Amino acid sequence: MEEKVLRFWKERRIFEKSVGQHQGSERRFILYEGPPTANGNPGLHHVLARVFKDLFPRYKTMQGFYAPRKAGWDCHGLPVELEVEKELGLSSKTQIEEYGIEAFNARCRKSVFRYLKEWEALTDRIGYWLDMEHPYITLDRDYIESCWWIIKNLWEKGLIYQGHRVTPHCPRCVTSLSSHEVALGYREDAEDPSIYVLFRLRSYLQYEGDERTREGLKKLGWNRQKARWDASRPSLLVWTTTPWTLTANMASAIAPEQTYVLVEAPGPEAVVERLILAKPRLDAVLGTSVRVIAEIPGKELTGLYYEPPYPLTEVKDYRIVPADFVVMDEGTGIVHIAPAYGADDFELGQSFGLPVTHTVNLDGTLKQSEKPWAGRFVKDADPLIMEDLKERGLLLKAGRITHTYPFCWRCNAPLLYYAKKTWYIRTTAMKDKLLEGNQEINWVPGYIKEGRFGDWLRNNVDWALSRERYWGTPLPIWVCQGCGHYEAVGGLEELKEKAHREKMEESGYSLEDALKDPHRPFIDRVLLKCPECQNPMRRVPEVIDCWFDSGAMPLAQVHYPFKNAELIDKDLYFPADYICEAVDQTRGWFYTLHALSTLLFQRPCFKNVICLGLILDAKGEKMSKARGNVVDPWSVIKAYGADALRWYMLTACPPGNVRRFDQEQVKEVMRQPFMTLWNTYSFFVTYANIDRFDLRTPAPPLTSELDRWIISELNGLTAQVTQNLDSYDPVEAGREIEKFIESLSNWYVRRSRRRFWKGENDQDKRSAYHTLYNCLVTLAKLMAPFAPFVAEELYQNLVRTQDPTAPESIHLTSFPVADHSLIDRKLGEAVQLAQLHSSQGRAARAKAGIKVRQPLRRAIIEAEDIEWPLLERLVTDIKEELNVKEVVVVQSIPLEGWASDPSIVVIITEGGPRTAVEVELTPELLKEGRAREIVHRLQSMRKAAGFDIADHIATYYQAEGELEKVLREFAPYIQQETLSRELLAWPPAPGAYQETHRIDGEEIVLAVKKL
Ligand SMILES: [Zn+2]
Ligand SMILES: [Zn+2]
């Protein structure tokens, strides 16, 4: 069915028509498609996001909004490079450069769309309507040009700078990462060494510092007269989880306001050591059995000299310095400082004039050719360094620690904090604006606003923009070889104007190549002429963060400002009304969109955003290839259809929750609501065909209470769904629709059955047909954004077959609008009450073990303050539903007494009204029960014999005793219910369908024959 609908949409170009019919409308609804990378197969989590992205534009389109939806593909960056490296068997940047940047990037370009067909097929199959014929592609020349324009704009505002700082650095990819990329790769269970190391104080002192320091020295046992230590030399006790950084130690930091202690403790070689550490850390680190010799205020330690484990030629004196980041909840209160490998270390180093010396290469291997760990990767060098410290008696304790540590989000290498020059966007300059803009955004779930996203903005750091890589938008900054002047280029025309053509010709470089493809290496060959000194300028080697590309999509997708300027300047395609991705994008795409739009226009870039929770497997485990629990979306769609999967994803749990994906629940959706809806629809079609019901006959006024009720419910539902979708709450909308389907099938249709069965086409019957038809068509429209396939099928069969002038697809119709004048809340409540008492009454029967077919004398219900007409309605419903002769309404059913009487069963709900039924059976009631039982058996036999619902039959029976009496007494009733023109106490006529039954211990032979 769904595939037929897909073909129909495609042949008739329904998507294009649905967007096109509102083109030019003042009411616009803009969705920004967060661009996926098409170099991997799309998975279930992509389906989740795409289903949510699809829902709202469909809804808004039906409401008359113009809602264009442009597809996009993210093409640049490490993910692509990494794939190609694997393919080519390259493992380092040197190897890539030997292979050639031009050839490497050509491979990257090719690999980008490897899974494009799979993406398009899946997008199509799940019914995500998106303009995939005109996508934006981040590697396009026009797209890159817009990115350059943005960079130039920020450059002119002074928001781009090159900083020498410690940045998160991936040693495998050999590039900086931005803080939002780092945020993607934290692991909570990273295991590292945890070691306590001795830094011995110097044994001679040329300088004893000021009064304060001399005071501290005295307490530590320095004998100034003899110029030596009175007892053994004290050591600073230092804790680290990165032993390799000890090779670059340049200072040790303490908290000046804290108290430190000098203690005697057993050292590494069983000799007693004198150790210095913060007093609050003493118990945790050394236990309670050590002897405290002295207490020293932190500030008296500052300025003391010590010997680092690995002295560097660049540093003469190693000193204790004060710092405000030394904490007392871990370590020893003494922090070893390696300015090259920590952000705090770097800052502190700068303020004390320490050099930044690297003992580690950019690829994470150690320099220090004289050491055994030379050339080893830092983490592999750790054990060797610990071994060395141990041999020298400097390692007090060594263990392992499990803590949170960042890893490269693409290649999984542990990140290093590494001091180097990197280009930054000064987002911190706009921090207040970023926070202000966030106030205008509607986050779903709401707690993201001040939580995850707000926190991220409050702790904003400048955006590390540059990547020392190959496949990306080149950073359009040139530097003069003569005078060091910098120029940013904001477009290809500007590039042409500024190019140093003579110099380029001399070198045999082509400007045309770069204009055609502004990627590396072509752009690297473009030289500019320095406006200051006329010397040639070269481009800096970096490319930019691919997250910049995706954050630039609002402008770059329309090639702003080179084309379509009015779309942005007049707010026609900016900001977005709605975006939706997984919650990890709060620090990724959501952030880069927000940051760029704030820096450029001082305003946010999207109004509403849904952050989707992660998808786990049914047991709550992460899906991974290794576990073998990855669910292939195709298999789910094949088994249950796209609509069932969509419905499940949209309504199973609030969008932000972590969800456990359970195929069984998708199967359940097939049953309920879809099968229930389908059965109701089939019921209508079957009877409408039998009666040749003509829709064009005018609908009679709603005289039936039942019709008035379901129409009231329908309008209430319409209002509810509209309100839920307007507040981006598809879960609630979906649940309301499910409830309505249940009411329609299990109350309205069931209780209207007789109206459809009866012979003549009177007004009441016509009213029932019109009402049910109205419900089904409206329901289909309400469901269309959720379950576009089923909705289309219903619409085509119910509407288009009747009225060829109707819009050719349900998705071209208008979303229903609630008529509040038709909503009767009191009636709704009365029916709800009837439903409640019916279900409680049925439970009471079940408890007494009496079938519903057995009539009972009386039901007693609790009800108060109901108006008479509603009460009448209530009583009629309950009488029929519970198959009782009488319903008695009382103010209250006493629990005591009644419950102990075995002829009465009371059922109580949690705080709600109570229902009771009398279960005592009189001979009359028993007879009637048997009559109903016989009708029931005959109905089943009609079905088994393959008769049509409307077929008239002859019924034959052979029975004795009680059953025979019942058949005679209730003959008219049995005939009417089973459409039996004849009810004969004869042996079956030839060709009749025959069965033998036992009812209440008596045997009866029944037979039916079509007339
Ligand atoms: Zn990496
Ligand atoms: Zn110059």
Q: What are 793-809's pLDDT values in tens digits?
A: 999 999 999 999 999 99
Alpha-carbon dihedral angle through residues 758, 761, 766, 768, given to the nearest 10 degrees:
0
Ligand nearest to the CA of 531: 2
* Cα distance between residue 78 and residue 130, in whole Å: 27
Q: How far away, in angstroms, is 498 Cα from ligand 2 center?
A: 13
- CA dihedral over 658, 660, 665, 669, signed as positive or negative: positive
Ligand nearest to the CA of 91: 1
Q: How far away, in angstroms, is 487 Cα from ligand 2 center?
A: 10
CB count within 10 Å of CB 244 equals 25
pLDDT, residue 890, reads 85
Ligand nearest to the CA of 412: 1
Alpha-carbon dihedral angle through residues 995, 1001, 1002, 1008, given to the nearest 10 degrees:
-20
Decide if pLDDT at 6 tops 70: yes
Ion ligand 1, residues whose Cβ is below 5 A away: 170, 172-173, 408, 411, 413
Q: How far away, in angstroms, is 110 Cα from ligand 1 center?
A: 21
Q: Point out which residues pair with 995 in neighbouring strands.
A: 1006
* Angstrom distances, CA of residue 489 to CA of 144, 464, 477: 12, 19, 6
Closest CA to 165 of 458, 462, 431, 406: 462
Q: How far away, in angstroms, is 22 Cα from ligand 1 center?
A: 46
Q: What are 876-908's pLDDT values in tens digits?
A: 889 999 999 999 888 887 766 665 566 677 666
Q: How far away, in angstroms, is 414 Cα from ligand 1 center?
A: 8
Q: How far away, in angstroms, is 82 Cα from ligand 1 center?
A: 8
* Cα distance between residue 197 and residue 393, in whole Å: 9
Q: Are 424 and 464 in contact (CB under 8 A)?
A: yes
Kindly state the tokens that stand for 65. 């909004």
Given 222, 589, 709, 747, the catalytic residue:
589
pLDDT, residue 139, reads 97
Q: How far away, in angstroms, is 547 Cα from ligand 1 center?
A: 15
- Percentage of the chain beyond pLDDT 70 is 98
pLDDT, residue 758, reads 73
pLDDT, residue 228, reads 84
Q: Which residue's entry shows tokens 């979708």?
A: 725
Helix (H) or strand (E) holding 923: helix 923-944
258 given a catalytic annotation: no
pLDDT, residue 169, reads 94
Of the candidate ranges 327-336, 543-552, 589-598, 619-628, the one whose mean pLDDT is the lowest:
619-628
Decide if pLDDT at 208 tops 70: no
pLDDT, residue 637, reads 96
pLDDT band at 868 (very low <50, low <70, confident <90, very high): confident
Q: Which residue has the higher pLDDT, 865 or 803?
A: 803
List CB contacts of 571: < 8 A, sequence separation 6 or more.
none
Q: How far away, in angstroms, is 477 Cα from ligand 2 center?
A: 14
Can you give the three-state secondary structure of 871-906, one letter per residue?
Answer: HHHHHHHHHHHHCEEEEEEECCCCCCCCCCCCCEEE
pLDDT, residue 669, reads 92
- Percentage of the chain beyond pLDDT 90 is 75
DSSP codes joined into one string, 719-755: HHHHHHHHTT-HHHHHHHHHHHHHHIIIIIIHHHHHH
Q: How far away, in angstroms, is 407 Cα from ligand 1 center?
A: 8
Ligand nearest to the CA of 527: 2
Closest CA to 262 of 234, 304, 224: 234
pLDDT, residue 232, reads 87
602 given a catalytic annotation: no
Over residues 954-967, the mean pLDDT reads 92
Q: How far away, in angstroms, is 432 Cα from ligand 2 center?
A: 37
Decide if pLDDT at 207 tops 70: no
Closest CA to 154 of 421, 425, 460, 486: 425
Alpha-carbon dihedral angle through residues 365, 369, 373, 379, given to the nearest 10 degrees:
-20
Residues 670-698: b if buried by 16+ CB within 10 A, e if exposed: beebbebbbebbebbeebbeebebeeeee
**CA 23 to chain CA centroid, nearest Å:** 31
Kindly state the tokens that stand for 450. 């001040």
Ligand nearest to the CA of 414: 1
Over residues 741-770, the mean pLDDT reads 89
Q: Are 481 and 135 in contact (CB under 8 A)?
A: no
Given 117, 516, 622, 965, the catalytic residue:
622
Over residues 978-1004, the mean pLDDT reads 92
Q: How far away, in angstroms, is 169 Cα from ligand 1 center?
A: 8
Ligand nearest to the CA of 177: 1
pLDDT band at 190 (very low <50, low <70, confident <90, very high): very high
Kindly state the tokens that stand for 519. 């990627």
Q: Are 579 and 412 in contact (CB under 8 A)?
A: no
Q: Cβ-count burial of 930 within 10 angstroms (0-12 exposed, 13-18 middle, 19+ buried)? A: buried
The number of helix segments (H) and strand segments (E) in the chain equals 37, 37
Ligand nearest to the CA of 534: 2
Given 54, 74, 617, 877, the catalytic residue:
74
Closest CA to 7 of 793, 798, 795: 793
Kindly state the tokens that stand for 190. 């990273």
Alpha-carbon dihedral angle through residues 339, 343, 347, 350, given to the nearest 10 degrees:
30
List CB contacts of 555: < 8 A, sequence separation 6 or more.
146, 149, 150, 561, 568, 574, 600
DSSP 8-state class, residue 698:
P
pLDDT, residue 899, reads 56
Given 149, 239, 456, 547, the catalytic residue:
547
CB count within 10 Å of CB 338 equals 29
pLDDT band at 475 (very low <50, low <70, confident <90, very high): very high
DSSP 8-state class, residue 778:
H
Q: Which residue's entry shows tokens 């669910």?
A: 631
Helix (H) or strand (E) holding 539: strand 536-539
Q: How far away, in angstroms, is 423 Cα from ligand 2 center?
A: 20
Ligand nearest to the CA of 479: 2
∠ CA 421-423-427 to the nearest 5 degrees? Answer: 130
List CB contacts of 445: < 8 A, sequence separation 6 or more.
611, 654, 655, 656
Strands 222-223 and 228-229: antiparallel
625 given a catalytic annotation: yes
Decide if pLDDT at 911 tops 80: no
Kindly state the tokens that stand for 438. 């966030």
* Cα distance between residue 196 and residue 281, in whole Å: 13
Ligand nearest to the CA of 469: 1
868 given a catalytic annotation: no
* Cα distance between residue 973 and residue 967, in whole Å: 9
Q: Helix or strand or coil: residue 598?
A: helix
pLDDT, residue 289, reads 82
Backbone angles phi, psi at 771, to 5 degrees: -65, -50
pLDDT, residue 668, reads 93
Q: How far away, in angstroms, is 242 Cα from ligand 1 center?
A: 19
Average model confidence (pLDDT) for the chain? Answer: 92
Q: Which residue has the higher pLDDT, 869 or 929?
A: 929
pLDDT, residue 401, reads 93
Over residues 240-265, the mean pLDDT reads 95
Q: How far away, in angstroms, is 529 Cα from ligand 2 center?
A: 8
Ligand nearest to the CA of 500: 2
Given 557, 585, 720, 958, the catalytic residue:
585
Q: Where are the alpha helices (DSSP H) in 614-762?
A: 633-640, 642-651, 663-669, 676-690, 705-726, 730-743, 750-757
423 given a catalytic annotation: no
Q: How far away, in angstroms, is 493 Cα from ligand 2 center?
A: 21
Over residues 387-403, the mean pLDDT reads 94
Amino acid type, 549: D
The answer for 368, left when phi > 0, alpha when psi is -120 to 50, beta otherwise, is left
Given 35, 135, 521, 575, the catalytic residue:
35
What is the C-alpha R_g of the chain?
40
Q: How far away, in angstroms, is 173 Cα from ligand 1 center?
A: 4
Q: How far away, in angstroms, is 464 Cα from ligand 1 center?
A: 15
Q: Point out which residues pair with 31 in neighbouring strands.
A: 578
pLDDT, residue 68, reads 96
Q: Are 276 and 262 in contact (CB under 8 A)?
A: yes
Decide if pLDDT at 434 tops 80: yes
Q: Are 29 and 60 in contact (CB under 8 A)?
A: yes
Given 226, 316, 619, 625, the catalytic residue:
625
409 given a catalytic annotation: no
Q: How far away, in angstroms, is 521 Cα from ligand 2 center?
A: 23
Decide if pLDDT at 987 tops 60: yes
965 given a catalytic annotation: no
Q: How far away, in angstroms, is 415 Cα from ligand 1 center?
A: 8
Can you give the three-state secondary structure of 119-164, one letter per residue?
Answer: HHHHHHHCCCCCEEEEEEECCCHHHHHHHHHHHHHHHHCCCEEEEE
Q: What are 118-171's pLDDT values in tens digits?
A: 999 999 999 999 999 999 999 999 999 999 999 999 999 999 999 988 999 999
